[in-house]
Chain A
Amino acid sequence: MFQRFSFLRFSIPAVISLGCVFAQAPPPPQGGSKTLTVSGDIAAPITLKAEDLAAMPREKVSIPDQDGTRVEYEGVPLIEILKRAGAPVGNQLRGKALATYVLAKAHDGYEVVFTLGELDASFGNEKILVADKRDGKPLFGYQGPYRLVCPADKAGARSVRMLETLEIVRLQR
């Protein structure tokens, strides 16, 4: 009984104290995850860190932002990431594999779709980039750490910010 009383006596202030800590120290600001996951209909999901992306083939694209100023993004072509994850690209992209798409998901729940056909060099050859730098500096805040850049798109809505997951979906096998 005494022990129980002691528990209550000490735990209530502890709970209040914890509550105060949470109230005073909300989580630190964070955009997307520091890793990029490729999952779905592939042999095994892969998780890429910043250093993995830094070691992959990289490209730069200079595009006008919505206000007309030119911005240079740097990163890894999306097709290279799909290739590394084992998605059917290149010679494998034929027949039923052409009914495969990539679902790009952002930290805030935003999602857009790209078909493998529009990305592959033999078909659409769209140069979509998974960028981690803007004007030479790492993406941060609401943009980063990773985002898509779609230079051929007229609207910016597929240029997913805070990119976290690329899910590969095969509609036919």
Chain B
Amino acid sequence: MQARLISALFLFGIASHWLVAAEPEKNEYQWKLPKGFPKPYVPADNPMTAAKVELGRYLFYDTRMSVNGKASCATCHKQELAFTDGRGIGLGATGESHSRGAMSLVNVAWSASLTWSNPEMKSLEKQALVPMFGEHPVELGLREGDKFLPTLRSDAQYRALFERAFPEDADRFTIANVTRALASFERSIVSARSPYDRYHYERDDNAISDAAKRGEILFFSQHLSCFRCHGGFNFTDATVSGRNPERAVEFHNTGLYNVPGVLSYPEPNTGIYEYTKAREDAGKFKAPTLRNIAVTAPYMHDGSIPTLEGVLDHYAAGGRAITSGPHAGNGHDNPNKDPLIGGFTLSAQDRSDLIEFLKSLTDEALLHDPRFADPWPKAKEKP
């Protein structure tokens, strides 16, 4: 009897230990990534927590994040458009236009570099400062020392959110903590539930149409070679992960323009030349993810191609010919054009199949997922 009791206590001890060990660390973020998706790189000074993600979501959708209360991050990054804005070029809170379009934030946790053409911008925390405080152009229009932080501090809801997100900080209401929370929310926006994911990773042959399957084969073919710049699970060549946090990002001149002059691309959108000042870098931009591409029109860095069909025509021609106006020129002959942009022929069937494949990358669940939706009551959007 005593032996049985000792055995039972021993087993209880083991079970208790196992239960404690199996319980996630308090506040640890659960990625719940599907097969094929590596754990993202997360900077050591901003570990993911559910509390930071939640605070980041409130900040992301808060129009008090702008100089005049008219814009938030979500103004240019709308969930239903895969966190783009449907515009060719962005529009700031004060009405100032950006020169480039808002990039999708989907799967940005795996981005080796951020923005269209800044090879040095690799931190979501640092990048958040650009729309917040940038002046060329003004996006949200905040200024250091203005009422933004006191406003957050005076809000009871934010006091609770900041306390949960940064419980050990003496002063929680700092710009650094705001950007940490925003970056955490952005990292949480994972798109992995498209029909293509069900076909490719879950082997559900009925998840996509035969046309999309034919389109996939074309996409990955030698003939078209789309995958060379838009490859991997995230359909881009600028992907990093927790295991491989460093990657030399390639930027590509796709022959979109060929204007007279030494730079061949119309200013101010000269690509990474803006940072490297090397002429051969003019017109080189990052290859963005193609996930959800069907809902992120218009396309290219300046939104100058309105449809996916137009994008296919551009690549099939090996560059865009503009016959009149200030940007007239044949992009096919751009001196910095990536050799991969050689052009190809497509039958009408091929074209249609490729479009179907690209549409199969749309993650409808993401576009309506309440975890990424505006948490504010509607009235608070327009204070």
Segment from B98-106, B162-170, B212-220, B311-319 that makes contact with A: B212-220
Are A141 and B200 neighbours in the complex by a CB distance under 8 Å? yes
Are B38 and A142 neighbours in the complex by a CB distance under 8 Å? no
Are A67 and B38 neighbours in the complex by a CB distance under 8 Å? yes
Are A26 and B37 neighbours in the complex by a CB distance under 8 Å? no
For the complex, is B349 an interface residue (Cβ under 8 Å from A)?
A: yes
Contact A67 to B241, CB < 8 A, known contacts A142-B217, A142-B220:
yes
For the complex, is A28 an interface residue (Cβ under 8 Å from B)?
A: yes
B241 surroundings in chain A (CB, below 8 A): 67-69
B213 surroundings in chain A (CB, below 8 A): 29, 141
Binary flags per residue of A56-69, CB closer than 8 Å to B gives 1, else 0? 00000000111111
Are A161 and B210 neighbours in the complex by a CB distance under 8 Å? no
For the complex, is A123 an interface residue (Cβ under 8 Å from B)?
A: no
Contact partner of A66 among B216, B221, B231, CB < 8 A?
B231
A residues 118-169 with Cβ under 8 Å of B? 137, 140-142, 161-162
Contact partner of B222 among A64, A109, A140, CB < 8 A?
A109
Binary flags per residue of B229-242, CB closer than 8 Å to A gives 1, else 0? 00111100001011
A140 surroundings in chain B (CB, below 8 A): 203
CB distance from A102 to the nearest CB of B (A): 18
A67 surroundings in chain B (CB, below 8 A): 38, 110, 232-234, 239, 241, 244
CB distance from A93 to the nearest CB of B (A): 30
B231 surroundings in chain A (CB, below 8 A): 66
Are B349 and A141 neighbours in the complex by a CB distance under 8 Å? no
A31 surroundings in chain B (CB, below 8 A): 217
For the complex, is B36 an interface residue (Cβ under 8 Å from A)?
A: yes
Are A28 and B210 neighbours in the complex by a CB distance under 8 Å? yes
A67→B33 CA distance, assembly (Å): 14
Contact A142 to B349, CB < 8 A, known contacts A29-B210, A29-B214, A67-B241:
no
For the complex, is B243 an interface residue (Cβ under 8 Å from A)?
A: yes
CB-nearest residue of chain B to A31: B217
B222 surroundings in chain A (CB, below 8 A): 106, 108-110
Are B220 and A161 neighbours in the complex by a CB distance under 8 Å? yes
B110 surroundings in chain A (CB, below 8 A): 67
A28→B209 CA distance, assembly (Å): 10
A106→B223 CA distance, assembly (Å): 11
CB distance from B221 to the nearest CB of A (A): 4
Are B38 and A68 neighbours in the complex by a CB distance under 8 Å? yes
CB-nearest residue of chain A to B224: A108
Contact partner of B37 among A27, A66, A69, A109, CB < 8 A?
A69
A141→B227 CA distance, assembly (Å): 14
CB-nearest residue of chain A to B219: A142
For the complex, is B128 an interface residue (Cβ under 8 Å from A)?
A: no
A108→B344 CA distance, assembly (Å): 13
B203 surroundings in chain A (CB, below 8 A): 137, 140
Contact partner of B221 among A26, A65, A68, A108, CB < 8 A?
A108
A27→B38 CA distance, assembly (Å): 35
Are A108 and B223 neighbours in the complex by a CB distance under 8 Å? yes
A65→B217 CA distance, assembly (Å): 19
CB distance from B309 to the nearest CB of A (A): 18
For the complex, is B130 an interface residue (Cβ under 8 Å from A)?
A: no
A108 surroundings in chain B (CB, below 8 A): 217, 221-223
Q: Which 6 A-B pairs have the closest CB atoms?
A: A29-B213, A142-B220, A110-B222, A108-B221, A68-B244, A68-B241
User: What are 16 sample pairs from A and B whose C-beta atoms fall under 8 A apart?
Assistant: A29-B210, A64-B243, A66-B239, A67-B244, A106-B222, A108-B217, A109-B223, A137-B203, A140-B203, A141-B199, A141-B213, A142-B216, A142-B217, A142-B219, A142-B220, A161-B220
| A-binding residues in B (CB < 8 A) | 36-38, 110, 199-200, 203, 210-211, 213-214, 216-217, 219-223, 231-234, 239, 241-244, 349, 353
Beyond A29-B214, A69-B233, A142-B217, 4 additional contacts (C-beta under 8 Å) are A26-B349, A27-B214, A65-B232, A141-B200
